[in-house]
Amino acid sequence: MSKDKSNVVLVTGATGGIGKSIVNKYAEQGFTLAIADKNEDEANKLANEINHNGGMAMVFYGDLLDQSYCDNLTSEVQTKLGTVGILINNAGFMSRGDITQTSDEDYELSMKINVEAPFRLIRASIPLMVESGGGSIVNISSCWGINPGPNHLIYCTTKAALAAMTKCLGRDHAHQNIRINAVCPNEVNTPMLRTGFEIRGLNPDDAIEELNQSVPIGHIAEPEEIADVVAFLSSDEARYICGSLVEINGGKAVY
C-alpha cells in the first residue's frame, strides 16, 4: 500500500525474533512504528533504537490475552500516531505435543494468542482503514497451518484457523481497498525455536545445523527473510495479492 495513505505500521509481538526484524524492516523504509508487546523493557529498547537512528516509533504496551487491549489498540494508535495503514499480526504461541499431552491451559492460551487476538485486532482495524481509504493486513500463520506436522496439535490447529481467517477476510474486504494476506513460514531461527530445543534437552546450535541439512535451499529461514516477504505483501508491488497464503519454506515441504 502507498505510504501517502498512512505511514503507520502496527506490529504485535514486536520484540520477538521475527517481530523485531519486521519492525526494523519498516523503520528502514521510513514508516512510523507502533510497537505492541507485553515485554515493556524490550519494547522500549527497540523503540529507542529506532528513534535514536532518526526513525519514529512508539510503544503500546499490553497483553494480547486482554480483550480490551486488543479491541482498543488500533484506535489508541490512531489517536497518538495516525490511522494504522499496515497491521502485522505477528505475535504467536507454540504448544507442543499430541492431544493427550495438551492441557486446557495450552489450548486456551494458544487460541487466544494465535486466533482471538488477530480476530479482535482486525475487527477493530477495518472500519478505521475504510475511513482512511484502505490498508493492508499481514498475518503470520505457518506452513504447519496448511500441512500439519506431527506432535503440534494445538499449534497446527490455531495456525490453520488463522490461515482460513485470512482467506475469508481477503475476499470479504478487497472491495474496500484492504488487502489481507498471510505468510506461512516453516522453521525460523528464532529464540522461540531455540527454546524449544533446550526444553527437549538438545543443543540449539547443533539442532539448527541438523535442520539446515533438511532444507533444499540449505538453511532454515532467518527472521529477516520473513520480514522481507511481509513488507512486500503490504507494498504496492503486491497490490493484486489478496487473500493469499504465502509459504516461506526454502523448498522444504511439511509432510
The residue to which cell 540449539 is assigned = 204
Partners of 83 in the β-ladder: none
Q: Is 240 a catalytic residue?
A: no
Q: What's the rounded Cα separation, in Å, for the pair 17 and 180? A: 22
The string of DSSP letters for 155-211 reads HHHHHHHHHHHHHHHHHHHGGGTEEEEEEEES-B-SHHHHHHHHHTT--HHHHHHHH
Tell me the torsion sign for CA atoms 161, 255, 171, 25: positive
Using CA atoms, how far residue 211 sits from 97, 187, 215, in Å, is 19, 8, 7
- Residue 14's Cα: distance from chain center in Å? 9
Other CB atoms within a 10 A radius of the CB of residue 123 amount to 13
Contacts of 3 (CB under 8 A, 6+ apart): 30, 31, 85
For residue 59, what is its C-alpha cell?
510503544
Of the candidates 61, 155, 240, 255, the residue annotated as catalytic is 155
For residue 183, what is its C-alpha cell?
505468510
- Hey, which residues are catalytic here? 155
